Amino acid sequence: MLVLSLDSSSIASVALSRDGEVLERFDTTDTRSHAEALAPAVQELMARAGLTGADLDAVLVGTGPGPFTGLRAGLVTARTLGFAWDLPVHGLCSLDAVAHRVGPLALAAGHPEFAVAIDARRKELYWRRYRVAEEGGVVVLPAGDPQVSAPEQLPDVPCYGSGTALYPDRVPRPAVEGTDVAPSAADLARAAWSVTSRGGELSTDTSPLYLRESDAKVPGAPKRATS
Partner 1 sequence: MNTADPLVMGIESSCDETGVGIVRGTELLTNTVSSSMAEHVRFGGVIPEIASRAHLEAFVPTVRTALADAGVRMAEIDAIAVTSGPGLAGALMVGVAAAKALAVATGKPLYAINHLVAHVGVGLLGDGGELPPHLGALLVSGGHTEILAVQDITSDVRLLGSTIDDAAGEAYDKVARLLGLSYPGGPAIDRAAAEGDPEAFSFPRGLTAGKYMGSAENPGPHRYDMSFSGLKTAVARVVETFHAARRPIPVADVAASFQESVVDVISRKTVLACTEHGITTLLMGGGVAANSRLREVVTQRCARHGITVVVPPLSLCTDNGAMVAALGSRLVAQGVAPTGIAFTADPGLPVTTVAMPAAV
Site residues (vs partner 1, CB under 8 A): 34-36, 38-40, 42-43, 46, 53, 68-69, 72-73, 75-81, 83-85, 208, 210, 214-219, 222, 224-225
Contact 163, 126 (CB under 8 A): yes
Of 45 and 202, which has the nearer Cβ to partner 1? 45
User: Closest distance between partner 1 and the C-beta of residue 102, in Å?
Assistant: 29
Of 69 and 197, which has the nearer Cβ to partner 1? 69
Of 40 and 200, which has the nearer Cβ to partner 1? 40
User: Closest distance between partner 1 and the C-beta of residue 26, in Å?
Assistant: 13
Q: Residue 67 contacts by C-beta under 8 Å, 6 or more apart in sequence?
A: 9, 31, 119, 120, 121
Of 77 and 94, which has the nearer Cβ to partner 1? 77
CA distance 92 to 99: 12
User: Closest distance between partner 1 and the C-beta of residue 38, in Å?
Assistant: 7
User: Closest distance between partner 1 and the C-beta of residue 181, in Å?
Assistant: 25
Angle at 94 between CA 122 and CA 213, to 5 degrees: 40
Angle at 19 between CA 13 and CA 24, to 5 degrees: 35
Q: State phi, psi for 24 to the nearest 5 degrees.
A: -145, 145
Q: Look at the alpha carbons of 138, 143, 147, 150 in this order and tell me if their dihedral is positive or negative.
A: negative
Q: What is the CA radius of gyration of the chain?
A: 19
Number of other CB atoms surrounding residue 107 within 10 Å: 17
Of 40 and 168, which has the nearer Cβ to partner 1? 40
Of 46 and 117, which has the nearer Cβ to partner 1? 46
Which DSSP category does 211 fall into? -
What is the pairing mode between strands 13-18 and 2-7?
antiparallel
Q: 130 forms bridges with which residues in the sheet? A: 114, 142
User: Closest distance between partner 1 and the C-beta of residue 156, in Å?
Assistant: 33
